[in-house]
C-alpha cells in the first residue's frame, strides 16, 4: 500500500551573493562605487554630466535604478556622509581652537559644507549606493551582460557549500 505523495514543490532557487556571481571581493563593489564607476563591472561613463546618470551601464548593461525608489538610498547615504563630515568639522574645529573657538569661520565652513557637499558627493553617492544595494540584493539573472558573470545561478551549479 502506497502513501499518497505530496505534490512536488518547486524549491526556491538559492540566491548567490553578487560578489560571488561577479568573482570579486565585496569591497571591490564599494570602491568602484566610491570612484564613480559601475560597481558591477568597474566601467566608466556612468554619468552624462555631474547630475545626470545614464540609465544603464554602457559596459555591462546593469540598470542602475534596480527597483522603483532605488535612489532614496543614495539620498540617505549622501545626507549621512555630509552630516558626518559636518560633525567632524564642528568637533575638530572646536577641539583644535579651544577655548577660543572661532564661531564665524566655523559657521562659514559648516554652511559651505552643507550647501556644496551634497552636490559634490552626488555622483559617488549614487554609484556607491548601487554597490551597497548589490551587496544586499544579489544580481538577478539577466540583470547584466552574462559575460561579466562568473557564477550564474541558472547557468552554473553553485559551488559546494
Ligand atoms: Zn557595468
81-128: per-residue pLDDT in tens? 999 999 999 999 999 999 999 999 999 999 999 999 999 999 999 999
CA 101 to ligand 1 center in whole angstroms: 47
CA 134 to ligand 1 center in whole angstroms: 12
pLDDT at 77: 98
C-alpha to C-alpha distances, 32 to 35, 39, 62, 118, 145, nearest whole angstrom: 5, 5, 14, 19, 18
For the entire predicted model, the pTM comes to: 0.85
pLDDT at 157: 59
Q: Is the pLDDT of residue 46 over 90?
A: yes
pLDDT at 21: 95
pLDDT at 6: 67
pLDDT at 36: 98
Q: Give the number of C-alpha atoms closer than 13 A to the C-alpha of residue 106, restricted to the C-beta side.
A: 17
State how far the Cα of 27 lies from the Cα of 25, in Å rounded to an integer: 5
pLDDT at 153: 65
CA 46 to ligand 1 center in whole angstroms: 8
Which parts of 2-102 fold into alpha helices (H)? 18-22, 26-34, 70-97
Query: With bands split at pLDDT 50, 70 and 90, how would you rate the model's confidence at 12?
Result: low
- Comparing 88 with 5, which gets the higher pLDDT? 88
pLDDT at 4: 72
**Longest CA pairwise span in the chain (Å):** 92
Query: With bands split at pLDDT 50, 70 and 90, how would you rate the model's confidence at 33?
Result: very high
CA 23 to ligand 1 center in whole angstroms: 14
CA angle 59/64/69 to nearest 5° reads: 175
Task: For the chain, report the end-to-end CA distance as a whole number of angstroms.
Answer: 38
Query: With bands split at pLDDT 50, 70 and 90, how would you rate the model's confidence at 74?
Result: very high
Treating both helix axes as pointing N-terminal to C-terminal, what angle do 122-136 and 26-34 enclose, rounded to 10 degrees? Answer: 160
pLDDT at 84: 98
- Comparing 4 with 59, which gets the higher pLDDT? 59
CA 112 to ligand 1 center in whole angstroms: 33
C-alpha to C-alpha distances, 31 to 40, 112, 128, 132, 147, nearest whole angstrom: 11, 26, 8, 10, 21
Q: How distant is the alpha carbon of residue 17 from its chain centre?
A: 14
Amino acid at each position: 500500500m502506497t502513501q499518497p505523495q505530496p505534490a512536488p514543490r518547486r524549491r526556491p532557487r538559492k540566491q548567490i551573493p553578487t560578489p560571488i556571481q561577479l568573482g570579486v571581493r565585496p569591497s571591490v563593489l564599494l570602491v568602484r562605487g566610491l570612484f564613480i564607476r559601475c560597481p558591477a563591472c568597474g566601467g566608466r561613463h556612468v554619468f552624462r554630466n555631474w547630475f545626470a546618470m545614464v540609465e544603464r551601464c554602457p559596459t555591462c548593461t546593469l540598470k542602475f535604478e534596480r527597483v522603483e525608489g532605488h535612489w532614496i538610498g543614495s539620498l540617505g547615504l549622501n545626507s549621512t556622509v555630509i552630516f558626518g563630515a559636518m560633525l567632524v568639522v564642528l568637533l575638530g574645529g572646536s577641539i583644535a581652537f579651544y577655548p577660543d573657538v572661532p564661531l564665524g569661520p566655523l559657521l562659514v565652513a559648516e554652511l559651505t559644507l552643507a550647501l556644496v557637499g551634497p552636490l559634490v558627493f552626488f555622483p559617488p553617492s549614487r554609484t556607491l549606493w548601487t554597490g551597497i544595494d548589490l551587496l544586499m540584493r544579489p544580481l538577478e539573472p539577466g540583470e547584466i551582460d552574462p559575460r561579466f558573470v562568473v557564477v550564474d545561478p541558472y547557468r552554473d551549479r553553485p559551488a559546494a557549500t
